[in-house]
Amino acid sequence: MLRNKSILDMIRLHSAEKKALLAVLLDPDKVDTVGLPKMLETAQNQGVHLLLVGSSQPIQTRLDIFIQNVRRHCSLPVLLFPGSYQQLCHQADALLFLSLISGRNPDYLIGQHVASVPFLEQSNLEIISTGYVLIESGYETSVHRASQTKGIESTDLHLITNTTRAGEWLGMKLIYLEAGSGAKDPVPENVIRAVKSTVQIPVIVGGGINTPEKANLAVCAGADVVVVGNILEKTPSLLREIAHAVNKSSSKSCPV
Ligand code: 1GP
């Protein structure tokens, strides 16, 4: 889809203006297809900015048909958030080209990327190099299982910030701090703060953000993009409040 500005430019612009963005993660195999149109309309009307589509598990649903269906109900930018190169799709606007830099599994550091080149050479997707950093939350998540890697302990701020700086110096355009889908605890605020104070590139935060309060805390700690997924599959009505929490977050609504 043609846009005046790239999605990365849009994220950078909002980051520079300290306006957080809200992204909704849609797992095509898990969304309630009956409730999807209403949820997408709510997303568009209530100030959601981006849709992420993907899963750490193999997807059975036809992605091209799924995204075409999404587009029938809203005009938000669609970013692929793929668990593997098999989740690439021409119908999206952009691809988070994720390298799992918290782990040492070569397949998720570079292997999947090499495998995706033949597809990407034929596509118009905006490719956004993203340093994906899994932070331990004390429980095994699907990202652990799929990648066969452990996250970095949230207490090891030194390793976390050295990892994100290395990602920035490698030329990555975004950092994604991930607690894992459905994580009991989201990425702690002090981790977000530490990363934000050491990199210049925008920081996405996701995993376990399932209340407006948690979304607000992530934004106040410096998240440029907050990702919400799991909870909307169970309680779609929360979207309105979470969007409100992200969009109102400013120095006034942040704890001092
Ligand atoms: C997972 O960061 C995303 O990759 C979203 O996590 O499903 O827990 O909201 P949740």
- For 7-19, the pLDDT digits (tens) are 999 999 999 999 9
- For 32-63, the pLDDT digits (tens) are 999 999 999 999 999 999 999 999 999 999 99
- Tell me what the mean pLDDT of segment 86-115 comes to: 98
Ligand 1 pocket, residue 55 CB under 6 Å = no
Q: Which two tokens stand for residue 132?
A: 């994906």
Residue nearest to atom 1 of ligand 1 (CA): 181
User: How many domains are contained in the chain?
Assistant: 1
Ligand 1 pocket, residue 178 CB under 6 Å = yes
Q: Which domain holds residue 191?
A: 7-247
Query: Does some domain include residue 1?
Result: no
Ligand 1 pocket, residue 70 CB under 6 Å = no
- For 150-181, the pLDDT digits (tens) are 999 999 999 999 999 999 999 999 999 999 99
Task: State which ligand 1 atom lies nearest to the alpha carbon of 205.
Answer: 2
In angstroms, rounded to a whole number, what is the distance separating the alpha carbons of residues 193 and 222? 6
Query: Does some domain include residue 167?
Result: yes
Ligand 1 pocket, residue 20 CB under 6 Å = no
Query: Does some domain include residue 2?
Result: no
Query: Does some domain include residue 224?
Result: yes
Q: Which two tokens stand for residue 37?
A: 């149109």
Q: State the distance from the centre of ligand 1 to the C-alpha of 26, rounded, in angstroms.
A: 9
What residue spans of 26-111 are helical by DSSP H? Answer: 36-45, 63-73, 106
Ligand 1 pocket, residue 181 CB under 6 Å = yes
In order, the DSSP letters of 126-181 are EEEEEEEEEB--SS--HHHHHHT---B-TT-HHHHHHHHHHHHHTT-SEEEEE--T
Query: Does some domain include residue 199?
Result: yes
Q: Which two tokens stand for residue 188?
A: 């702690």
In order, the DSSP letters of 93-133 are SEEEEEEETTS--HIIIIIHHHHHHHHHHT--PEEEEEEEE
* pLDDT greater than 80 at residue 1: no
Query: Does some domain include residue 102?
Result: yes
Kindly report the CATH number assigned to the domain that includes residue 57. Answer: 3.20.20.390
Query: Does some domain include residue 256?
Result: no
